[in-house]
A and B are shown apart, each in its own frame.
Chain A
Amino acid sequence: MKAKPGTKLGFIALGLAVAFAFGWFRTNQVVGIPEDRTLFVVGWVAAILFGIAAFVRGTRWFGGIAAVVAIVIGVFLPFTVSISKQDVGAGAIQVGDVLPQFEAIDEFGETFNSASLQGQLVLIKFFRAHW
C-alpha cells in the first residue's frame, strides 16, 4: 500500500487547532483573553497550513477528516477575533454628562423609572451577553 505522509500532518493540524482552541475557550471562560492574541492566531494559521499540507502530501481518509476539522477551526476562531471589536457612535454618553431619563422593565415585570435614582450613587452596567 502506498504511503500517505499527509495523514500524520492531518493529525498534527488537528492537534494544533484543538490545543489552541482549548486554551482560547479556557481563557475566555475567565474573561482573560489577552489584548495581544497573536499567539492564538499563529497557532490556528499553523493548523491551517498543516491541514493543507496534509492534502498536498496525500492523506488517508481519516487524516483528511482531521485536516478538514483543523482547517475549519483554524478559519473560524480567527474570524471571531477579527469581528470582536466594538464601537459606539459619536453621541455616546461621556464622563461629565448627566444621566439621560429612561424607563425600563425590571425583573419583576414592573416599570422602573430612572428618576428613582436621584440622590443615590449608582453603578450601571450594560451587559452584552445573556444571563
Chain B
Amino acid sequence: MSTDSVEELQNGRDAHGIQAIMLADFDLGVTDAFGLRNTLFHSAPPSDEQEALPVPATLLVDRDGTVLWMEISENYQRRSGPEVVLAAIEEHLG
C-alpha cells in the first residue's frame, strides 16, 4: 500500500519484480481507515504532491481478518529488516 499512482506502481513492479498485490492509496483513504496517517512533521521533498504520508507499518493478518502482529516505524529513517517479519510469521503461524 503506497501513495503512488497506478503508473508508478506499474513502474515499481517492473523495476523490482514485485509479486505481491500493489495498491494505490493516493488519497490516503485506506491509510486513514487503518489510522496510520503520520500525525507529526510531514518530511517529504517539496516536489512531492502528497500533503501527508502513512507511517511505515507492517501487519500480519489471520484468515478471519484479525491482526496477529504489527510493527509501526517510529522513525522513517529506520526500518526493521525482513528477518523481523519472518520471525513474526514463524511465531504466529508455526
Q: Is the CB of B33 within 8 A of A121?
A: no
How many residues of chain A are within 8 Å of chain B by beta carbon? 49
Select B78's contact among A33, A118, A122, beta carbons within 8 Å: A33
Interface majority SS on B: helix, strand, loop or mixed?
mixed
Which residues of B are interface residues toward A (Cβ below 8 A)?
Answer: 1-4, 6, 8-13, 15-16, 20-25, 29-31, 33-41, 43, 53-70, 72-79, 81, 85, 89, 93
Which residues of A are interface residues toward B (Cβ below 8 A)?
Answer: 28, 31, 33-35, 80-81, 83-102, 104-109, 112, 117-131
Q: Is the CB of B33 within 8 A of A100?
A: yes
List, in ascending order, chain A residues with CB within 8 A of B21's CB.
106-107, 112
Please report the C-alpha to C-alpha distance between residue A30 and residue B66 in the assembled complex, in whole angstroms: 32
Q: Is the CB of B37 within 8 A of A88?
A: yes
Q: List 26 A-B contacts (CB under 8 A).
A: A34-B78, A83-B41, A85-B41, A85-B75, A86-B55, A88-B37, A92-B35, A95-B67, A98-B64, A99-B67, A104-B25, A106-B6, A106-B21, A106-B22, A107-B12, A107-B22, A122-B60, A124-B59, A126-B31, A126-B34, A126-B55, A126-B58, A127-B1, A128-B54, A128-B73, A131-B22
